[in-house]
Structure 1
């Protein structure tokens, strides 16, 4: 499906006047009556109508800019490719509403009253430090706002919208089709029941304008990847006095170069010199420190048991992630990685050779166990 801005030949910063000018020019050029009923021209004309019907509506344009076609063609989306403001769901919904409404307690939908604004989604990436300690972040959200010039009426200050003569202000028109009485949104006023004859210069008759808002959001300590935060009333403005929609923040935690998260536990692999692993001792490992004044890393002492092997883990209680539900904290799990020394001097090699000559199966139990298993395997294979 082609980009709506590309269809109209405008850029994404184009204002309402530019959109209208581009639409009129293309509509005249591709109108079927001016092209002898050509199917290509008819298809192009519908495509132009669909693009303009979305981009000329502040709410639909905001949704399209953020989510693309999925934002306007979903269950509550826009034109759905029909063009010309025609909504098939109006016909089918009202047909069955008329026939079965009284039986099942249903009723007709009212489209000319106050309408709640659309909900918005904002994807926010945070660091593991921010997820650990909590943070106050600022985000910039484009949203439909009530026009301050006309206070949302869409009419020029000093004037008011007039009642639509086609529907008498009901926003719906009815026609009889066979045995059914079909009702749909009034095509003249778009279902609002009102007509703006002298449009406001600030919003060009829409009653809303698109603006970017800067919001301060508190990220609670302990949030995990995929968490969702609802900000009530921070979505698009409602129409005709309706309430604002909500803003939903979807959080993703960026990968950390030192830690991996496993529930409330933090996992960290730390290299250990061979001598410390053999003799035992202490090493330093990084850990996260929370609080309002510190969101960076700090050090924690880890005791390495004598004879520690690669893969040995040391669990430090209460050094992991905080819980969102209570005061519980996870653990910091330090996995030891025994490091073999490199670039040895002649003296160091001499000492290691001397050590190797002094070691036996007691010092290398795993090696001795493996050699025993390997010897039995070879005997079974060779029969010797």
Structure 2
């Protein structure tokens, strides 16, 4: 393994032969061959078979290159160039037809960082994710973080909709250095660890390597000798802002609303995240809510239910309506007043559900008491609770 994470013998390996396919095989044929060999040699199925373990790693290495069209194209180009030179891995290039004059070390070619692009360093750097001339890439745009907050609104506001002001705090660019991580007034330079690539190549064992974010520059490709005194070089700060959020009509208590693009700001031109608002709705002294319907408990007297009556009840945001209570109405019956409930998504409204509840007076005048005593005497033969004893048996 070279210092750049490139194995100099890769150029002489035949990945097509490793997978048992022709050089002209389609990507589907390559994928099928890889899956078949991977299943047959997977370490989980053969925990004690070292030979199959090695075969599995070789198959995975081959598929990692020719299983991806862009890498496969560069691999084919590299194989063709190296076949013309006719040299062994790690040795010098000899002269000859199609070869290179003089003796050139392979490792030197792979590590050549001087001059323009187009050499073996560029080719293998693209092919294997490391090595070759390090090229500065534009920092990757990343989406901002999603944020959470709560909003408390009144009962009526939940029905009609409202616009509320929300204070939102989130991680953002440091206000002192504007996200650069450097002390204001100083200039950055290319990161010496990754040579401005933003990533470094690390060995993961078994002849494999992978790219990871550069630990020195954090993927930003540039570093400052003097870090920002406010954020200590992280480029991150805490920002608080006020936004206007529109709460739709008909929102329910505890409902979670998504506001697109109102979350944390993205990095390097990336889009902002979303803001999730959990709505808390305060109660009402008179009205309740049941989905798209409003509810109300209406106090009535025994005589109104027994004899029947017409009573007026309030509506939310409108004038009173008359409720016709038929004679003999049982306590707890619910009446429906259409179109006086909560707003629906289609613009129509639900209903008002009015439940009658008998109110027992705490004290009686002499005349009322005499009248009730007369009523009790008149209905003394009514056995209201006889059914309880029969059912109890």
TM-score (norm 1): 0.60
Deviations 1:68-123 (A, max 9, x none): xxxxxxxxxxxxxxxxxxxxxxxxxxxx9996476367998x99422221111112
Across the aligned residues of Structure 1 and Structure 2, the Cα RMSD in angstroms comes to: 3.3
Matches within 5 A, 1:285-324: 285-289=313-317, 299-323=320-344
Match of 2:200 among 165, 173, 176: 173
CA drift of 1:271 comes to 1.6
Matches within 5 A, 1:1-384: 100=64, 103=67, 112-176=139-203, 177-201=205-229, 203-289=231-317, 299-323=320-344, 325-359=345-379, 371=386, 373=387
Report SS of the residue matched to 1:188: coil
What residue ranges of structure 1 are gaps of 5+ in the alignment? 1-95, 291-297
> Partner of 2:110 in structure 1?
none
Q: Is the 8 Å Cα contact of residues 186 and 224 (structure 2) preserved in structure 1?
A: no
Q: Is the 8 Å Cα contact of residues 111 and 171 (structure 1) preserved in structure 2?
A: no
The 10-residue stretch of structure 1 (137-146 or 156-165) with the greater mean CA deviation from structure 2: 156-165
Deviations 1:260-303 (A, max 9, x none): 3222112222221222222322334343228xxxxxxx754433
Report SS of the residue matched to 2:181: coil
Report SS of the residue matched to 1:277: helix
Residues 375 and 251 (structure 1), Cα distance of their counterparts in 2 relative to 1, 3 Å cut: closer
CA distance in 2, matches of 1:321, 1:165: 64
Q: Is the 8 Å Cα contact of residues 119 and 236 (structure 1) preserved in structure 2?
A: yes
Equivalent residues, number = 269
Residues 202 and 234 (structure 1), Cα distance of their counterparts in 2 relative to 1, 3 Å cut: farther
CA distance in 1, matches of 2:300, 2:310: 9
CA distance in 2, matches of 1:246, 1:106: 35
CA distance in 2, matches of 1:286, 1:239: 54
What residue ranges of structure 2 are gaps of 5+ in the alignment? 1-59, 72-128, 130-136
Report SS of the residue matched to 1:173: strand
Q: Is the 8 Å Cα contact of residues 276 and 304 (structure 1) preserved in structure 2?
A: yes
Report SS of the residue matched to 1:251: strand
CA distance in 2, matches of 1:270, 1:139: 38
Deviations 1:9-46 (A, max 9, x none): xxxxxxxxxxxxxxxxxxxxxxxxxxxxxxxxxxxxxx
CA drift of 1:256 comes to 4.1
CA drift of 1:255 comes to 4.3
Q: Is the 8 Å Cα contact of residues 131 and 224 (structure 1) preserved in structure 2?
A: yes
Report SS of the residue matched to 1:356: helix
CA distance in 2, matches of 1:230, 1:97: 44
Residues 377 and 232 (structure 1), Cα distance of their counterparts in 2 relative to 1, 3 Å cut: closer
Q: Is the 8 Å Cα contact of residues 125 and 252 (structure 1) preserved in structure 2?
A: yes
> Partner of 2:39 in structure 1?
none
Q: Is the 8 Å Cα contact of residues 172 and 185 (structure 1) preserved in structure 2?
A: yes
Which protein has the larger Cα radius of gyration, Structure 1 or Structure 2? 2
Residues 199 and 241 (structure 1), Cα distance of their counterparts in 2 relative to 1, 3 Å cut: farther
Q: Is the 8 Å Cα contact of residues 154 and 161 (structure 1) preserved in structure 2?
A: no
